[in-house]
């Protein structure tokens, strides 16, 4: 069975600075997808960025980028130029290529952005 | 397109009562997922529908839980004889038939069992 681990329950960053959230996962599969989701307080979860395991190039979406290390089973999220609106809980998630598409989530990291 | 909606947003019930939640996915989405999220934790998968067929159920889904998706549109999740351990946020998500792997989440139903 696949597992996802986020070892940082809380992180904080100064506005305009850069922060990196860590995620490791365990799987025996070679093809899969990885995601970072953002869940603002009392608001619904939204997708931040996704990575296909077969792609060597790290995904980037504006201020958000990932460092995908397949051999190490590591998938970190870097947020550049942090903004107050980035404050939220961030979840790393795994999706197998072969099953129903269910997501396996980590425990989450609460990000605080200080003005 | 108004996104995924869930009703009610909050539900307080007494132990032993039955509750039912509704999820309306994005209209053209054929895939629908239910997750449960307890405070401070990541969501955990409960069940999956493709159109009207329930194709996967988690071991978390005890026999007190039942889900349906008649006609492949909205879905309902019913919990019978609620227990305090059922208190959680119940999230619904949908994704499209184009093979897209992005799941769009609803706002959730927060259940409190007293």
Mean pLDDT of A28-52: 93
Higher-confidence residue of A108 and B61: namely: A108
Say how far apart CA B87 and CA B13 lie, in whole Å. Answer: 10
Look at residue B102 in the predicted model and tell me its pLDDT: 86
- CB distance A100–B101 less than 8 Å? no
CA atoms within 13 A on the CB side of A51: 26
Classified as helix, coil or strand, A85 is helix
Residue with the two structure tokens 């790290």: A58
Dihedral sign for Cα A102, B69, B90, B58, please: negative
User: Which B-chain residues 21-80 have CB contacts (< 8 A) with chain A?
Assistant: 31, 33, 35, 40-45, 48, 50, 55-56
Specify whether the CB–CB gap between B34 and B103 falls below 8 A. no
Q: Which of A50, A100, A105 sits opposite B43 (nearest CB)?
A: A105
List pLDDT tens digits, range B65-84: 999 999 889 999 999 999 99
What are the tens digits of pLDDT across the range B84-104?
Answer: 999 999 999 999 866 567 899
3-class DSSP state for residue B111?
Answer: strand
Question: Looking at residue B100, what is its pLDDT?
Answer: 60
pLDDT (tens digit, 9 = 90+) per residue, A70-102? 999 999 999 999 999 999 999 999 999 887 889
Instruction: Inspect the interface and report whether the beta carbons of B41 and A108 lie closer than 8 Å.
Output: yes
Q: Does residue B25 surpass a pLDDT of 60?
A: yes
pLDDT at position A97 is 86
Q: Are A19 and A108 in contact (CB under 8 A)?
A: no
Measure CB to CB from residue A108 to each of B31, B42, B102 and give the nearest one.
B42
What percentage of chain A has pLDDT greater than the value 90? 85
Max CA distance (Å), chain A: 44
| Average pLDDT across chain A, whole number | 95
Nearest CB neighbour to A100, from listed B4, B48, B107: B48
Alpha carbon distances (Å) from B95 to A40, A73, A76, A84: 21, 26, 25, 29
Whether A111 contacts A14, CB under 8 Å = no
């Amino acid at each position: 069975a696949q597992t996802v681990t986020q070892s940082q329950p809380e992180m904080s960053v100064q506005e305009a600075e850069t922060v990196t959230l860590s995620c490791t996962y365990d799987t025996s599969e070679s093809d899969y997808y990885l995601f970072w989701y953002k869940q603002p307080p009392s608001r619904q979860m939204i997708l931040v960025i996704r990575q296909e395991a077969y792609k060597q190039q790290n995904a980037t979406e504006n201020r958000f980028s990932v460092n995908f290390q397949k051999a190490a089973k590591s998938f970190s999220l870097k947020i550049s130029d942090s903004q107050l609106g980035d404050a939220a809980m961030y979840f790393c998630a795994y999706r197998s290529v072969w099953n129903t598409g269910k997501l396996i989530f980590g425990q989450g990291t609460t990000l605080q952005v200080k003005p | 397109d108004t996104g995924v909606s869930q009703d009610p947003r909050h539900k307080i019930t007494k132990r032993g009562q039955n509750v039912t939640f509704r999820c309306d996915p994005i209209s053209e989405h054929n895939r629908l997922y239910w997750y449960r999220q307890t405070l401070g934790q990541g969501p955990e998968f409960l069940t999956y529908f493709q159109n009207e067929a329930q194709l996967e159920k988690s071991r978390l889904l005890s026999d007190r839980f039942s889900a349906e998706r008649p006609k492949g549109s909205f879905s309902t999740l019913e919990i019978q004889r609620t227990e305090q351990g059922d208190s959680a946020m119940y999230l619904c998500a949908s994704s499209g038939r184009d093979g897209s792997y992005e799941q769009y989440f609803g706002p959730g139903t927060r259940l409190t069992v007293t």
